[in-house]
């Protein structure tokens, strides 16, 4: 189909979002998109969700951290932000999705708010609750394996990661 003339094309805003999950979560782009549509549909209803038109236009995720650009129609940024806040799990993996900023172009959003994914350090000597456990360290943050209960989010000050 022929492109619309520029003055009648919809105007978009791009939400740069950070995604945080436990290190063993594997979240594909299609999973995230589905969770976002589900959250928007449930919170805003079908008409509101269609108005906002949220769509994932860029996505990367590795080792429990991710970044994405979410497109929303201009004037619906607040509603899109609310929908993003309601994404609490993707394929049963708990996630935290936070809006880092909003821009008018994908390039500006990427340059200002997305800074790439780091590689975490995996350790097997994290002292937590009087026990040496497996853990994944990122800067000061440490995700510790807590047996069958899953993970515990901690900081380096909560545990010894150098065999202390």
Are 80 and 72 within 8 A, CB to CB?
A: yes
CB of 83 to other proteins, least distance (A): 8
11 in Cβ contact with 64 (< 8 Å): no
Closest distance between other proteins and the C-beta of residue 4, in Å? Answer: 30
Which residues in 98-127 contact other proteins (CB under 8 A)? 98-99
The stretch near other proteins (CB under 8 A) out of 67-75, 76-84, 104-112, 114-122 is 76-84
Q: Which of residues 128-147 bind other proteins (CB under 8 A)?
A: 140-141
CA 48 to chain centre: 22
> In whole angstroms, how close is the CB of 21 to other proteins at the nearest point?
7
C-alpha torsion 55→112→121→161, nearest 10: -120
Matching residue, tokens 């440490």: 142
**Least CB distance from residue 40 to other proteins, whole Å?**
10
Asked if residues 137 and 123 have their Cβ atoms less than 8 Å apart, the reply is yes
Instruction: Closer to other proteins by CB, 101 or 104: give it.
Output: 101
Q: What is the C-alpha to C-alpha distance for residues 163 and 159, in angstroms, rounded to an integer?
A: 9
Binding site for other proteins (CB under 8 A): 20-22, 42-44, 78-79, 81-82, 84-86, 88-89, 94-96, 98-99, 140-141, 150-155, 157-158
């Amino acid at each position: 189909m022929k492109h619309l003339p520029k003055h009648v094309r919809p105007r978009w805003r791009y939400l740069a979002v950070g995604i945080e999950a436990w290190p063993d979560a594997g979240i594909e782009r299609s999973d995230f998109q589905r969770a976002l549509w589900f959250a928007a549909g449930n919170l805003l209803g079908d008409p509101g969700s269609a108005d906002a038109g949220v769509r994932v236009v860029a996505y990367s995720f590795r080792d429990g951290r991710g970044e994405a650009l979410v497109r929303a129609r201009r004037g619906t940024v607040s509603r899109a932000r609310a929908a993003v806040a309601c994404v609490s799990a993707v394929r049963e993996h708990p996630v935290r999705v936070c809006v880092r900023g909003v821009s008018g172009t994908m390039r500006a959003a990427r340059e200002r708010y997305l800074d790439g994914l780091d590689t975490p350090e995996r350790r097997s000597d994290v002292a937590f609750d009087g026990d040496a456990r497996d853990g994944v360290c990122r800067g000061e943050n440490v995700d510790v394996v807590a047996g069958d209960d899953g993970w515990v989010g901690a900081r380096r000050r909560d545990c010894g990661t150098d065999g202390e």
